[in-house]
Chain A
Amino acid sequence: MSRFILALVLAVSGGMPAFAQDGKQIVEEAQRRARSGSQRYEGTLQVIDAKTKVTEKRWVFDRIGSHGNSKAVLRFTAPAEVKGMALLIVNHPDRSSDQWMWTPSLARERRIAMQDRSTRFFGTDFSFEDLEERDTNQFDYKLLAEESFVGTPCWKIESRPKSTKSSQYTHSILWIRKDNYVLAQIENFRNAGLIRRIKYSDIRSVQGFWTAHTTEVEDLKRNSRTVLKLEKLQYNLPMKDEDFTLQAIRREG
């Protein structure tokens, strides 16, 4: 889930260096600009299935630490059936994150094993892999073109996982805005087929961090989409490490 948030944070950007012509450097710069000491927001998630049935959830998200070493707690606040459920994510720079889910009705936590990252994230159209922080060393990047996306000039970059990296996608196409280094869109492919499209919009600067306040994921196979909206976004709030532990989520639950 932290990857989910950091993927969103990728959308934050500042000015563009004049020498940024290489695809990898552009992505790394986008990540650098997204770094903050902490983050909090209230999110609203809408899943619209193929029959246009809409389910909605709300949560409060807290993160401490920066890219690669962050810890995050996501606590659901609505609807009533899921209220109190919490997700604790502990990221590591050298390996996959550890994740636990707290279920108040069972009064117990469960460890979430990240074994199959193509699995959908709790009924949304995100897969766990979509939400991962991307280690740029695990991918090969190629700047394909410079083109306009929704009227904004962007770099169009192809990313392919290296042979050592397992992925459900054979490659992805990223559009990164030139003006603020915010990710504007990702298209994920399996061979020649487009599987999933993620669009970032409503990009605003909050405390100097350019952030997409709306993320829309489209699953082209299932013909469903998920829209995440961020509200009350704040960066660099004072937070304590001990609030990002299993004991803490049990206590709060």
Chain B
Amino acid sequence: MMLLRLLSWPYLKKHVLRWALTIAGIVLGVAVFVAMHVANRSVHAAFEKTVQKIAGSAQLQVSAGEFGFPEEVLEQVQNVPEVGVAVPVIESTVETGIRTQGSILILGIDMTGDRSLRDYELDSADESIIDDPLVFLAQPDSLLITREFAERNGLALNAKIPLFTVQGEKQFTVRGIMSSTGMAQAFGGNLAIMDIYALQLVLGRGRRFDRIEIKAKDGVRLDECKAAVQRAVGPGFEIDPPSSRGQHFDALMQSYTTATGVSSLFAMVVGMFIIYNSFSIAVTQRRSEIGILRALGATRSQVQRLFLLESVVAGFLGSMLGVLAGMGMAVGVSSYMGDLTEQVVGVAQRLDELAVDPWLIVGALAIGIGTSVVAAWIPARSAARVDPIQALQKGKYQVLSAGENRRRRAGAAVLVVISGVCLFFNNWKPAFYTGYILMILAGLLIAPAVSLLLAKALRPALKKFLPAEGTLAADSLIQSPRRTSATVSALMLSLAMVVGFGGFTNSIYVSMDEWMSTALNPDFFVAHSANLTNRSITFPAEVGQTIESVEGVDQVQLVRDARVIYGGTPIMVVSVETEKLLSKVKRVPLAGNSKEMHALTAAGKGAIISDGFSSMRHVTLGDMLDIPTPSGLLKLPVAGVIRDYSDLQGAVFIDRSVYLKYWNDTTVNVVRVYLRKDADAAEVKRRITDSLSGKYRLLVMTNSEVRAYVLKLMDQWFSMTYNQIAVAILVAVLGIVNTLTVSITDRRRELGVMQAVGGLRNQIRRTVWLEAIGIGIIGLVLGMGLGAVNLYYSLGMIQRDLGGLDLDYIYPVGFMSLMIPTILSAAFIAAVGPAESAVRGSLVEALEYE
């Protein structure tokens, strides 16, 4: 502790900027980690809270995916002797016409029996929340809202609320106000209750329910009740506790949370290099102090502990600030992720508070401090081994010994070989990820040697460009490979991440474009709203006939898609009119024969699966699918595998005739409309809108609008990742600033001498700028190289664990061309401050340095 006060504190005071930069690296890494995890947890918690609050005292839920099931199932469940209470539910988010409120979660329940499961009462039992229950049931516009929603919008009993239904914007009447406790807390208070039969009408659901909620009869065990209900309704139904919906939500969000987790980890590792760099520099600059300490009797372990203690302090400070910054960032990120889940995944929830796990904070602090200690370990160990004689030789420490270089190269070669061996066992998950990690480690080990080579290679070019400044800049890089390589490694990792994500997004955009060109080729899409992932509002198939009769329309295809639970997690089932689809869309199967695939599917004797479904579920051509339906398990062989991006969880395509038979539902989500060749698109669109007006509020979207919508969803999906990449690059740029600051400090005397012998200030500035640009160039070359490897593994990871998409390896050349000026500009900007500091210092002090 005394050493910390006597040695570390004065050094810290002298190099406040560097310590600030070091801590900034930790702050950013921890902040991104905390923000992403708190946001993930908050979104999950908001969903769970909504599920839990609206489930009331229900112990089990009977469901058959998003398609729902016919009303008759309710009676079957109610007749099960083990069932105490069984009530039907429909749940949907509906857009309100209130500008500031967005969507509201509407729960359709049967008021005549539902109170045994849910509590709608006010705090005081002497008041009824519904003005008149009979009027509530008699009037299909009746709504029961929460007190919070009422107060937010100045609504009282009998006030009107506009809602967008399948029949257009309709006015609903507030006929009751719930207290702000219990169920009213669900969906951030944006909750309304409606009579289930009225809601069926509003959502165009026909005589179907979403689920049945059950309370077992007193004295009956839950597993007994579940088994009895399963026997009564058959294997096509899921019977699970309400909490299982949280697991399904997690499954839907898995690919996103994993992707953000990986990128926040990258940010942390990049931060680790900054710390490593800072401590290496500190050791270098204080080697004479260390030498004196050792001469005075300080042991090696005392010196090592001193540096480790400094790293703990820096890690703690950085982590604390990072946690605070992360919490601040989490507010925005959570809100963004909430919108994202609604828009992309089609699962709505409303965030009203951040869910912070104290263990996450402890974990973040531990990670921040741990990262700091790990990063400082090697410099601390080096400090302990400082030879007092070597300590007096300036610059000596920054040189990597031939032995160390050899060891690093050998280590990298071994790791590459092991990694290569792992490639042969790619199907085994641990082998794949081991190979991935070892390859990145190999890149890190080899980075100093390659940096040195590249710095030497750069020397002639820099010399040719600016003889004096270029030579000095190159020499500085060559003479201090340890200092240079830490920054270069950080930059390399950031850029490798950029190549990985950039390549993945590039590949997916290219593949999506191909997919949209073939699969999404109708002229118009008719749907309830522009949000095509909201499948809760459907409309009758007659709409298709109405549209088909419009002049200028060539063909109409009815689509009904929704998620069902397959093997415990959700998948998308898409029912299409196969023969009609075949006449307009040419899908080339990845597995199977096109003709046979379509023939079997059209005849209801097979199903087509997406490549994502195939790889995630390990299902391939000829395998039998057991798709749960309200009529029992639908057994269909896989007739073909196609490349498809309808859903991240994978999709199964069946013929509409099969859907009608097994789901007993004639409703439609989307109508695909093809026009005659000579038709005037704008005129036909107007005619279709006119033909539907008065009956249904449906949107007619053009092909380009739907494509733009899909691309917007993609952009939303990736935008958070882009932000994290930006943070990682920012951290890496901080590293450049740090390195240059130290480089200037190290070379103060040298730069002072330059000025003393007539060197111009601009020459010194240019030397520093060139050194920064040199680091940028080396980082770019290494980053692009490691990025190529990272992209390979990233695509493998996506296919294996994040959506099952089989994407082509396309190196993001265009994207990286943009990165070249970006990184070089960032390097230059990073050099401006240190360069100015180099020329503005006192010449006498500089000459006296050391």
Interface: A152 (CB within 8 A): no
A86-139 contacts to B (CB < 8 Å): 101, 103-106, 108, 110-113, 115-116, 118-120, 122-123
Q: Is the CB of B126 within 8 A of A123?
A: no
Q: Is the CB of A122 within 8 A of B134?
A: yes
| Interfacial chain A residues near B407, Cβ < 8 Å | none
Q: How many residues of B contact A (CB 8 A)?
A: 29
* With known contacts A82-B134, A116-B85, A119-B115, A103–B128 Cβ distance under 8 A: no
Q: Which of chain B's residues has its CB closest to A55's CB?
A: B132
* With known contacts A51-B127, A115-B84, A123–B138 Cβ distance under 8 A: no
A124 to chain B, nearest CB (A): 9
Q: Is the CB of A106 within 8 A of B197?
A: yes
Q: Which of A105, A115, A223 contacts B116 (CB 8 A)?
A: A115
Q: Mark B79-99, 1 if CB is under 8 A from A, else 0.
A: 000001111000000000000
Which one of B78, B110, B135 has the greatest number of beta carbons of chain A within 10 Å? Answer: B135
Interface: A224 (CB within 8 A): yes
Q: Is the CB of A113 within 8 A of B137?
A: no
A22 to chain B, nearest CB (A): 32
| Interfacial chain A residues near B138, Cβ < 8 Å | 76, 81-82, 85, 103-105
Interface: A222 (CB within 8 A): yes
B59 to chain A, nearest CB (A): 14
B538 to chain A, nearest CB (A): 18
| Interfacial chain B residues near A224, Cβ < 8 Å | 126
Q: Is the CB of A111 within 8 A of B127?
A: no
Q: Give A76 to B138 CA distance when docked, in angstroms.
A: 10
B556 to chain A, nearest CB (A): 28
Please name the 10 residue pairs, one residue from A and one from B, whose CB atoms are nearest each other, closest first: A116-B116, A123-B133, A50-B126, A82-B138, A81-B135, A115-B85, A122-B134, A113-B113, A112-B112, A82-B134
Q: Which of chain A's residues has its CB closest to B116's CB?
A: A116
Q: How many residues of A contact B (CB 8 A)?
A: 31
* With known contacts A105-B138, A113-B78, A222–B115 Cβ distance under 8 A: no
| Interfacial chain B residues near A42, Cβ < 8 Å | none
Q: Which of chain A's residues has its CB closest to B218's CB?
A: A166
Q: Give A184 to B698 CA distance when docked, in angstroms.
A: 60
Interface: B139 (CB within 8 A): yes
Q: Which of B113, B116, B134 contacts A123 (CB 8 A)?
A: B134
* With known contacts A76-B134, A113-B113, A116-B85, A106–B125 Cβ distance under 8 A: no
Q: Is the CB of A115 within 8 A of B78?
A: yes
Q: Give A119 to B115 CA distance when docked, in angstroms.
A: 7
A114 to chain B, nearest CB (A): 8
Q: Give A54 to B140 CA distance when docked, in angstroms.
A: 23
* With known contacts A103-B138, A115-B116, A122–B125 Cβ distance under 8 A: no
Q: Is the CB of A222 within 8 A of B126?
A: yes
| Interfacial chain A residues near B131, Cβ < 8 Å | 55
Q: Mark B102-135, 1 if CB is under 8 A from A, else 0.
A: 0000000010110110000000011110111111
Q: Which of chain B's residues has its CB closest to A57's CB?
A: B134
Q: Is the CB of B115 within 8 A of A108?
A: no
* With known contacts A222-B125, A222-B126, A115–B86 Cβ distance under 8 A: yes
Known: A82-B135, A113-B86, A115-B86. 12 other contacts (CB 8 A): A51-B127, A76-B138, A79-B135, A101-B112, A103-B138, A103-B140, A105-B140, A115-B84, A116-B115, A122-B112, A122-B134, A123-B132
Interface: A221 (CB within 8 A): yes
Q: Which of B85, B86, B110, B126 contacts A223 (CB 8 A)?
A: B126
Q: Give A40 to B84 CA distance when docked, in angstroms.
A: 35
Q: Is the CB of B137 within 8 A of A101?
A: yes
Q: Is the CB of A110 within 8 A of B133?
A: no
Interface: B150 (CB within 8 A): no
User: Could you show 26 A-B contacts with beta carbons less than 8 Å apart?
Assistant: A49-B126, A49-B127, A51-B127, A55-B132, A76-B138, A81-B139, A82-B134, A82-B135, A85-B138, A101-B137, A103-B140, A103-B197, A104-B138, A110-B110, A111-B75, A112-B112, A113-B87, A115-B78, A115-B87, A116-B115, A119-B116, A120-B133, A122-B134, A122-B137, A123-B133, A224-B126
B237 to chain A, nearest CB (A): 19
Number of cross-chain contacts by CB at 8 Å: 83
Q: Is the CB of B112 within 8 A of A49?
A: no
Interface: B7 (CB within 8 A): no
| Interfacial chain B residues near A82, Cβ < 8 Å | 134-135, 138
| Interfacial chain A residues near B78, Cβ < 8 Å | 113, 115
| Interfacial chain A residues near B112, Cβ < 8 Å | 101, 110, 112-113, 119, 122
B478-498 contacts to A (CB < 8 Å): none
Q: Mark A36-57, 1 if CB is under 8 A from B, else 0.
A: 0000000000000111000101
| Interfacial chain B residues near A115, Cβ < 8 Å | 78, 84-87, 113, 116
Q: Is the CB of A110 within 8 A of B197?
A: yes
Interface: B201 (CB within 8 A): yes
Q: Give A223 to B128 CA distance when docked, in angstroms.
A: 11
A253 to chain B, nearest CB (A): 11
B524-554 contacts to A (CB < 8 Å): none
| Interfacial chain B residues near A122, Cβ < 8 Å | 112, 133-134, 137
Q: Give A85 to B135 CA distance when docked, in angstroms.
A: 10
Q: Is the interface of B mostly helix, strand, loop or mixed?
A: mixed
Q: Give A76 to B198 CA distance when docked, in angstroms.
A: 19
Q: Which residues of A contact B (CB under 8 A)?
A: 49-51, 55, 57, 76, 79, 81-82, 85, 101, 103-106, 108, 110-113, 115-116, 118-120, 122-123, 221-224
Q: Which of chain B's residues has its CB closest to A85's CB?
A: B138
Q: Is the CB of A108 within 8 A of B197?
A: yes
| Interfacial chain A residues near B128, Cβ < 8 Å | 49, 123
B183-208 contacts to A (CB < 8 Å): 197-198, 201
Q: Is the interface of A mostly helix, strand, loop or mixed?
A: loop
* With known contacts A76-B134, A110-B197, A105–B126 Cβ distance under 8 A: no
Q: Give A76 to B133 CA distance when docked, in angstroms.
A: 14
A226 to chain B, nearest CB (A): 12
Q: Give A112 to B196 CA distance when docked, in angstroms.
A: 13
Q: Which of chain A's residues has its CB closest to B113's CB?
A: A113
| Interfacial chain B residues near A103, Cβ < 8 Å | 137-138, 140, 197
| Interfacial chain B residues near A110, Cβ < 8 Å | 110, 112, 197
B419 to chain A, nearest CB (A): 63
Q: Which of chain A's residues has its CB closest to B111's CB?
A: A122
Q: Give A184 to B135 CA distance when docked, in angstroms.
A: 31
| Interfacial chain B residues near A49, Cβ < 8 Å | 126-128
Q: Which of chain B's residues has its CB closest to A112's CB?
A: B112
B755-773 contacts to A (CB < 8 Å): none
Q: Give A104 to B139 CA distance when docked, in angstroms.
A: 9
Which one of B85, B137, B198, B201 has the greatest number of beta carbons of chain A within 10 Å? Answer: B137
Q: Give A46 to B430 CA distance when docked, in angstroms.
A: 73
| Interfacial chain B residues near A119, Cβ < 8 Å | 112-113, 115-116
| Interfacial chain A residues near B87, Cβ < 8 Å | 113, 115
| Interfacial chain B residues near A50, Cβ < 8 Å | 126-127
| Interfacial chain A residues near B74, Cβ < 8 Å | 111, 113
Q: Give A118 to B130 CA distance when docked, in angstroms.
A: 18
Q: Which of chain A's residues has its CB closest to B75's CB?
A: A111
Q: Which of chain A's residues has its CB closest to B84's CB?
A: A115
B119-164 contacts to A (CB < 8 Å): 125-128, 130-135, 137-140
A78 to chain B, nearest CB (A): 11
Q: Which of chain B's residues has its CB closest to A45's CB?
A: B134
Q: Give A142 to B198 CA distance when docked, in angstroms.
A: 48
B142 to chain A, nearest CB (A): 10
A132 to chain B, nearest CB (A): 16
| Interfacial chain A residues near B198, Cβ < 8 Å | 106
Q: Which of chain A's residues has its CB closest to B175's CB?
A: A81
Q: Give A185 to B255 CA distance when docked, in angstroms.
A: 66
Q: Give A123 to B116 CA distance when docked, in angstroms.
A: 15
| Interfacial chain A residues near B201, Cβ < 8 Å | 106
* With known contacts A49-B128, A113-B112, A116-B113, A85–B137 Cβ distance under 8 A: yes
Q: Give A40 to B86 CA distance when docked, in angstroms.
A: 34
Q: Give A108 to B112 CA distance when docked, in angstroms.
A: 15
| Interfacial chain B residues near A55, Cβ < 8 Å | 131-132
| Interfacial chain B residues near A76, Cβ < 8 Å | 134, 138
